[in-house]
Structure 1
């Protein structure tokens, strides 16, 4: 059924269609509409789930970990400072191998105080052992929530579904809500091999000696690597059932490019339009959208950029002392290639500043004109 809803509600309906059993969350702008809609669905009986009201995001994640550990399908949502407050328990969730799914609405971290969009909040958690998916549209958000449960429950790792604040969370788009019966066939009930049960006592995450810790970390890394092929497999199954696919990356007009612009999130839509304009002028520009950040799709990136002379990476984030985080990951992925592109790292759109057609055109023109970036970070919002 097609309907017009905001991106936040696409998250909510994705969770409902996934038949979540436990929801625990604390409201924070711009995530609030997600949990408000879920609370409404629970209160009306449309969603048969336990909604746990808590006093903080830290407690919300603790509740989800506990629920998942006893075999319930658990979901939460947060943003910015709320995600930062969860940090300790994000490590716990992945270390305990519980497949919690969380939506994070990208919002700037304070200080200074700012409620608008950038990706630094979710990317600051990139080493916690969570899968991370960056969504371009409300439809992709809904579909990714459903897929994330299937993937997480298969590899026993938590997933973070990431969407841009306001550009996506508060914008209304047409979304196809699939029939719940079809979703049920795609996503069967959660039935973990191990769970906490008084009839079969065991512990999770207890004191582990040095002789075992490395083996456990190795298994987590192996599960993260396994997730790459599983994401592609689940993506194809989803396509056969619902007619939509996303995968790890999306290469757009990358057959013969002289320059590829690398994006994530909603700016990908704007960049697609810009690429089409340049193609209409006879300029060979391509787009590579990175959807899956963890596990990072290194092989797919190398394949997409093989033979490309120049790459312009758009980062709506910053790692102080390094630069753009997507650019750093991309450089790491291609560093062993004998022939690799010159990478231009652009940081733009911080704190909710619009990444416009003009901004992207400025990026492309600067990259075309220069043989070398000249500096590790370029700031198109500050270019005159």
Structure 2
């Protein structure tokens, strides 16, 4: 089915097609439309979901944790400061191995107060133990959410998953997208049949017990193994999804990468602008390429390192500020990936697009120009830069 939908509408439709058991939610811009649309599906009897209007985002994730632990397939949606208010419960959900799905509509964290897109909310939670998958456009946001439960509920994984899309840029912009038939989504996702849950008669279970020092590290190690297993599961689910949709997904997308000398690594909606930039540069004879990260957690370190090891210069684009003074989250992970295979490629890290700052072909073309200058000079100069900022 071909429809014209915003990213928020597309996510809500995916949720309807999945027909979860419980959705606790609290509104916050720019994700408010997701529970708003979904609550109308509940009111109209189009889903069997229990919708729980809570008093805060912390309560939303607390309710999601309780319902998922009880054996109910659960989801929610939030943005920015809303996810920050969930902070404690993000770690609880992950450590209890609860496969909750969350639509995260990326928005800048305060302050100053800003309601527009950057990745500071998701990047702040990158070490919480959640799987993180990012979308470039509305189609990918929908497709990623349809795949979410197949990944999170897999017995080798059993971890919560956040499906991320850029606030307003994709959440509110309307695009033509292809929806799957309801029956196809239902068959693809399947029923949730957990082996253990709180309401299982005759089998007492403790969820979130106190762990003394003799057991805490083992629990964390087991959690890490689930996250590592997720990489293989994500690819397997993507392959199955391609068979019903015709749309191909991987851990990342390689665009004009095979012979690229200058590679930009980027994530989210700006990847589309980066591809257009590369098309123009290729027409001018510049061997430019883009690696678009789809899966940020677990980070596909080995795969990315192999895909970019031939580059002359790399630019890592971070839509957040880590305040360590030398690198953002993407640059840190890419540097580690290359170090682990004993490859040293000159790299420039750019902080860009904070608080919804425009990302244009001209601004990204300047990044490729900087890479070419660094290659010619044999020195990247300042390797941590702000893009399109008034100095």
Corresponding residue of 2:212:
209
Please state how far the C-alpha of 1:198 moved relative to its aligned partner.
Answer: 6.0
CA–CA separation in structure 2 for the residues paired with 1:23 and 1:175: 25
Corresponding residue of 1:350:
354
Between 109-118 and 178-187, report the one with greater CA deviation.
Answer: 178-187
Q: Mark the runs of 5 or more structure 2 residues left unpaired by the alignment.
A: none
Matched residues, number = 384
Give runs of ≥4 in structure 1 deviating > 4 Å. none
Native 8 Å contact 1:362 1:380 kept in 2: no
CA–CA separation in structure 1 for the residues paired with 2:381 and 2:33: 44
Corresponding residue of 2:320:
317
CA–CA separation in structure 2 for the residues paired with 1:52 and 1:309: 53
Corresponding residue of 1:361:
365
Please state how far the C-alpha of 1:201 moved relative to its aligned partner.
Answer: 2.3
What's the C-alpha RMSD, in Å, of the aligned pairs? Answer: 1.2
1:270 is aligned to 2:273: yes
Match of 1:379 among 363, 386, 390: 386
Corresponding residue of 1:291:
294
Native 8 Å contact 1:257 1:308 kept in 2: yes
Q: How does 1:5-16 map to 2 (within 5 A)?
A: 5-16=5-16
Match of 2:176 among 167, 174, 185: 174
SS at match of 1:211: helix
CA–CA separation in structure 1 for the residues paired with 2:230 and 2:379: 36
CA–CA separation in structure 1 for the residues paired with 2:158 and 2:47: 24
Corresponding residue of 1:225:
228
Please state how far the C-alpha of 1:337 moved relative to its aligned partner.
Answer: 2.8
Corresponding residue of 1:161:
163
Cα displacement string for residues 10-66 of structure 1 (whole angstroms, at most 9, x for unaligned residues): 111111112211111100011111111001111111122110000000000011111
CA–CA separation in structure 1 for the residues paired with 2:67 and 2:342: 48
Match of 1:331 among 309, 312, 335: 335
SS at match of 1:173: strand
Native 8 Å contact 1:75 1:101 kept in 2: yes
Q: How does 1:187-266 map to 2 (within 5 A)?
A: 187-197=189-199, 199=201, 200-266=203-269
- Alpha carbons of structure 1 residues 256 and 91: separation in structure 2 relative to 1, 3 Å: same
CA–CA separation in structure 2 for the residues paired with 1:213 and 1:146: 33
CA–CA separation in structure 1 for the residues paired with 2:183 and 2:68: 23
1:302 is aligned to 2:305: yes
1:126 is aligned to 2:121: no
Cα displacement string for residues 168-215 of structure 1 (whole angstroms, at most 9, x for unaligned residues): 000001121111211122111111111002623221111122222221
Please state how far the C-alpha of 1:246 moved relative to its aligned partner.
Answer: 1.6
Q: Mark the runs of 5 or more structure 1 residues left unpaired by the alignment.
A: none
